[in-house]
Amino acid sequence: MDTKNNTKISEFLLLGFSEDPGLQPLIFGLFLSMYLVTVLGNLLIILATVSDAHLHTPMYFFLSNLSFVDICFTSTTVPKMLVNIQTHSQAITYAGCIAQMYFFFLFVGMDNFFLAVMAYDRFVAICHPLHYMVIMNPQLCSSLRPTLLVLACWILSVLHALLHSLMVLRLSFCTDVEIPHFFCELNQVVQLACSDTFPNDLVVYFVTVLLAITALAGILYSYYKIVSSIRTLSSAQGKYKAFSTCASHLSVVTLFYCSGLGVYLSSAATHSSHSSAPASVMYTLVTPMLNPFIYSLRNQDVKRALRSLFGGKV
């Protein structure tokens, strides 16, 4: 494609959900409330797991890391949208857009890998309870100890995000810089390019699907082994206890993957760029907001830690 008439752009325009001035205060209030609930809820989970010695276990170590990632994940997109609404501006710099895409892929990748690691943790705890502390003990020189698993998740996510960012940097853009979204969503940005986007599309579908399917396959295999192990238990109370330890994680996995896959499958089916923005709220904000409630409402250990954190007032 001829790119001789291209100009070097300095910014993109985020169109958001609506250009109606009357709706902007409502959108601002709604998203600010959801963002504050997300940050405070996940921060409470982190403080509870750090302050309570009973929660210094691999499972809650992974949970606190997931809560930290969820705070960062929502902070990548929502604050910029709130600032734009408040300042009556739609602009985001070219560098800011690239940075936003990088951190978005970094933290969504971390969510993806952490859910797989937490499934593995439950698999070891239920299927190999006698060897759990040997395999997952951070004090032992095990290749699968929690700190190494978390480090591996970070390395893979950094490389994944860096790959997508570098692929976008190779593109040249025309004068059309309007993104029908509330953040720099990769597919929307690539569609604005005047240069050949086939390598970008190939990387997006191959790498993203590969990582998502690998993580999801690990989760499904872990739960297959967990269910098989639970079925061998003779005690109904033992079965209930085993299932209850997995219920919260399974709920979060279902919410994360169903909302994420739902967004991209629906946008691919309708070919509507405007419909993907409201749908993306599910996995960019609603899921991180609900995670603390899912893990605390059904978890007596977390409830006890929160009561202790607030001096028994919770």
What confidence score (pLDDT) does residue 233 get? 78
H/E element holding 127?
A: helix 94-127
The full length of the chain comes to: 314
pLDDT mean values, one per 10 residues, the chain (314 residues): 53 86 90 96 93 86 94 96 93 95 95 92 87 68 70 94 94 86 90 88 84 90 91 79 82 85 61 64 88 82 83 58
* pLDDT number for residue 313: 52
Q: Residue 249 CB: number of other CB atoms within 10 A? A: 23
Look at residue 6 and tell me if it is in a domain: no
In a domain, 4, yes or no: no
Which residue matches tokens 């597919």?
187
CA distances from 272 to 20, 37, 79, 198 (A): 20, 30, 25, 20
Tokens 């872990």 belong to which residue? 222
Give the torsion through C-alpha atoms of 149, 50, 66, 131, to 10 deg.
40
How far apart CA 183 and CA 265 sit, in angstroms, is: 19
In a domain, 2, yes or no: no
CB atoms within 10 A of CB 258: 13
Phi-psi category of residue 253: left, alpha or beta, with phi > 0 → left and psi -120 to 50 → alpha: alpha
Q: Tell whether 79 is covered by a domain.
A: yes
At 156 the pLDDT is: 93
Domain membership flag for residue 194: yes
- How many domains does the chain divide into? 1
Q: What CATH number does the domain containing 254 carry?
A: 1.20.1070.10
pLDDT on residue 141: 45
Q: What is the pLDDT of residue 22?
A: 84
Within a domain: residue 77?
A: yes
**269: its two tokens:** 């089916």
- Domain assignment of residue 1, yes or no: no
Nearest 5°: the CA angle 150, 249, 262 is: 95
- 223 DSSP 8-state letter: H
- Structure confidence at residue 240 (pLDDT): 79
The domain containing residue 75 runs over which residues?
Answer: 11-309
160 occurs within a structural domain: yes
